[in-house]
Structure 1
Amino acid sequence: MAYTLPRLPYSYDALEPHFDKETMEIHHSRHHQTYVNSLNAALEGSELSSLAVDEVITKLDQVPAEKRTAVRNHGGGHSNHSFFWKNLKTGTTLSGDLKAAIENGFGGFENFQQQFEKAATTVFGSGWAWLVKTDGGLKIVTTHNQDSPLMGEAVAGTSGFPIIGLDVWEHAYYLKYRNKRPGTFTSVFHA
């Protein structure tokens, strides 16, 4: 089974003014496509290629050592971006159980938003900010490069089931915001 680039559930310009059309198009059709192509090349002929990408990245210890870094980077990139596109929706407002869990776990939505934005803006270099569900409740974590909390503590330095993922690589914001990473996170969340 070859991995494929998922279709976006919206047009490239649907998230203006927060995410501009050109960035979305390049980010999806070039960056994400490269992760897909490189993952397919790394797993060509492997039994692991029949697994869903989220399952592959949880089984990095089963990937041959000479291909493990490629699968970690490109499998993580494919998994993370596939999740990221689903997180971005026009007019999405947090509500229900998730909103209540965030308010209870972080002392209010505004506190959560401030903590999440701080985590996202302080990732050194490239990476991701995440809201994850753990046995202890909701937690804000970050990962470097294309690591995912699904990879576990030993690989990613953190673990949990992703609820929200935010790409803080420069390719996600640089065309519009240049080197001003914090500008990309204003108004991303709405309570």
Structure 2
Amino acid sequence: MHKREFLKVAGLAGVAALANPKGLFAAEGPETLPDSKAPFTLPELPYATDALEPHIDKLTMEIHHGKHHKGYVDNLNKALNGTVLASLSLEDILAKVSAKESAVRNNAGGHYNHSLFWTVMSPQKTEPSAKLSAAINSAFGSLDAFKTKFSDAAKGVFGSGWAWLIVGRDKKLAVTSTPNQDNPLMKGLVKETGTPVLGLDVWEHAYYLKHQNKRPDYIAAFWDVVNWAEVEKRYEAALK
């Protein structure tokens, strides 16, 4: 490798490390399993990496999807290899994983959370339907009140984690948050369980390149790209 090429690669690695030094290690470890032994794969983005600009920038999307999410998928396949969990669906793995199975917990959570995250955003401006609005109003009083509660949950995550809109066991909407790559499907591991219908990644790698340490600015920008049609689709499925 020529010196100029090396410096270019090293520079890109430095950008990823700046985005989140912990997250950079998500892809470390042994070689990935052959496809025939890899039950999970990285989903494609439903839009171009620059499609969410100016709200979420292209470089962040490239690193976040192509590096961080891919790392979770690769490491999940390694962690599952030869275990009884390997034949289960991702949702069933999350429901059954224990605190002792940290590699599966972290990487299955990372894969599920990001797979949901990409789909609940859209370049097209959308609004909640009348049915979804009625459910939000019933649970929170108004759409603005919901956004405030959700945003406060996202701001209140200490360090890395997620904010969630979930459908609880009572079939009502609720807001919760989880640390790291935990999510509300992890029974016995999180404070409130339910089916996620909207999630916001508040790990620093999700926003640091554009917003630096200004998490509230990133949260405010998120509302401009929420895919309400996908949220309603997940809401309807959770009610069944």
RMSD: 1.6
Q: TM-score, normalised to structure 2's length?
A: 0.74
Q: Hey, what's the Cα distance between the residues in 2 that align with 1:20 and 1:93?
A: 22
Counterpart amino acid of residue 167 in structure 1: D
Counterpart amino acid of residue 78 in structure 1: H
Q: CA deviation at 1:59?
A: 1.1
Contact between 1:129 and 1:167, CA under 8 Å: does it hold in 2? yes
Contact between 1:93 and 1:189, CA under 8 Å: does it hold in 2? no
Q: Hey, what's the Cα distance between the residues in 1 that align with 2:178 and 2:70?
A: 21
Counterpart amino acid of residue 180 in structure 2: N
Q: Hey, what's the Cα distance between the residues in 2 that align with 1:108 and 1:176?
A: 30
Matched, 1:120 2:120: no
> Which structure has the larger Rg over C-alpha atoms?
2
Q: Write out the 4+ residue segments of structure 1 that deviate beyond 2 Å after TM superposition.
A: 187-191
Matched, 1:15 2:28: no
Q: Hey, what's the Cα distance between the residues in 2 that align with 1:92 and 1:9?
A: 16
2:142 maps to 108
Counterpart amino acid of residue 23 in structure 1: T
Counterpart amino acid of residue 61 in structure 2: M
CA displacement, residues 16-72 of structure 1 (integer Å, 9 cap, x when unaligned) = 1111000011000000000001111101122322222122111114x9x4xx10000
1:31 maps to 68
Aligned with 2:189: secondary structure?
A: helix
Equivalenced residues, count: 186
In terms of mean alpha carbon deviation, does 83-92 or 117-126 score higher?
A: 83-92
Counterpart amino acid of residue 189 in structure 1: W
Counterparts of 1:24-173 in structure 2, within 5 Å, are: 24-61=61-98, 65=100, 68-90=101-123, 91-136=125-170, 137-152=172-187, 154-173=188-207
Q: Hey, what's the Cα distance between the residues in 2 that align with 1:128 and 1:181?
A: 12
Unaligned runs of 5+ in 1: none
Q: Hey, what's the Cα distance between the residues in 2 that align with 1:181 and 1:15?
A: 17
State the identity as a percent: 50
Q: CA deviation at 1:164?
A: 0.5
Q: Hey, what's the Cα distance between the residues in 1 that align with 2:52 and 2:180?
A: 24
Q: TM-score, normalised to structure 1's length?
A: 0.92
Q: Hey, what's the Cα distance between the residues in 2 that align with 1:122 and 1:144?
A: 11
Q: CA deviation at 1:188?
A: 2.5
Counterpart amino acid of residue 120 in structure 2: N
Contact between 1:116 and 1:140, CA under 8 Å: does it hold in 2? yes
In terms of mean alpha carbon deviation, does 156-165 or 172-181 score higher?
A: 156-165
Unaligned runs of 5+ in 2: 1-36, 229-240
CA displacement, residues 108-156 of structure 1 (integer Å, 9 cap, x when unaligned) = 111111111111011001000000111341110000000010002x202
Counterparts of 1:168-187 in structure 2, within 5 Å, are: 168-187=202-221
